[in-house]
Amino acid sequence: GEALAVSARVAPLGSRLVLLLVEDLTEARRIEAVRRDFVANVSHELKTPVGALSLLSEAVMDASDDPEAVQRFAGRMQIEATRLTNLVQELIDLSRVQNDDPLEDAEPVRVDELVAEAMDRCRHAAGTKQITMASNVWAPEGSEQGGGRRAGGTTDLSIWGNRGQLAAALGNLVENAVNYSPARTRVGIAARRVSAPGGDLVEIAVTDQGIGISDKDKERIFERFYRVDPARSRATGGTGLGLAIVKHVAASHGGEVTVWSSEGQGSTFTLRLPEAGTARDRAQQQPDLD
């Protein structure tokens, strides 16, 4: 509606200019709407644990002569406080990946280290559900980059990027795989080099045997605060921000994240990111523009 009004007002101008103006204003409005939604979502997400904390502290005061009840309420307060801390931490992470140029302090980041770090981060959660985690970092022998062949068939496979952001992205994917899987299942992380027209890529696939994601939800899970099942996500300490962070990190590194899933069978999230040697070589080949 508003876009139409704008086009009517600027109609006397050249048609191309009109189109540009309209597009510009619609884009500005869209960004504004996204921002408003985001603030509303953040406020809502903050209000929930804060409200719970407030009620629980009243309950503690009322139950001061019942030590057992006090214990119980205090335990729940701790859960809500943890939720609040997670949310604030994820908001900070999200704003960081959105605002910082990840390639400003880019370096070759070893994939086997990233994978080990992501698995360490989830070891406790996986252990309590008896979920087995297995990884396979592999780069075929004789491919041009990497060199340094090591025992067990693993060569040096590295991504050109920001270590902290890459660790956050992969950590989130492995964490989700564990969170959205039933007990005694398997989470696999497989990394390999694939060639692509723009240069070699590192492909990291995180596969689970979990609840899966419907086609309808697949389109939305990368949005901030979108959760298929909010109650389940909250129960595992989820904030709905994880995949938004993953998507941002992938895009800002010149890569992508995709999902394959079958409901009730499991999911595979795949990150494709520029391989270290390739990206650096490309940057060095670029003419100096100053």
The residues that touch ligand ADP, with contacts defined as CB under 6 A, are 172, 176-177, 180, 208, 210-213, 221, 226-229, 233, 238-244, 267
Least distance from ligand ADP to the Cβ atom of residue 201, Å: 22
Answer for the pair 63, 39: CB distance below 8 angstroms, yes or no: no
Element spanning 173, H or E: helix 163-179
Nearer to ligand ADP, 157 or 243 (CB): 243
Nearer to ligand ADP, 114 or 157 (CB): 114
Q: Which residue, chain included where needed, has tokens 């080099």?
A: 193
Cα gap 205→192, rounded to integer Å: 9
Nearer to ligand ADP, 162 or 181 (CB): 181
Nearer to ligand ADP, 47 or 232 (CB): 232
Q: Which residue, chain included where needed, has tokens 């959105």?
A: 98
Nearer to ligand ADP, 49 or 212 (CB): 212
State residue 246 phi and psi, 5-degree precision. Answer: -60, -45
Least distance from ligand ADP to the Cβ atom of residue 240, Å: 4
Least distance from ligand ADP to the Cβ atom of residue 213, Å: 5
Least distance from ligand ADP to the Cβ atom of residue 289, Å: 37
Least distance from ligand ADP to the Cβ atom of residue 243, Å: 3
Answer for the pair 132, 186: CB distance below 8 angstroms, yes or no: yes
Q: Which residue, chain included where needed, has tokens 């022998």?
A: 141
State residue 107 phi and psi, 5-degree precision. Answer: -150, 165
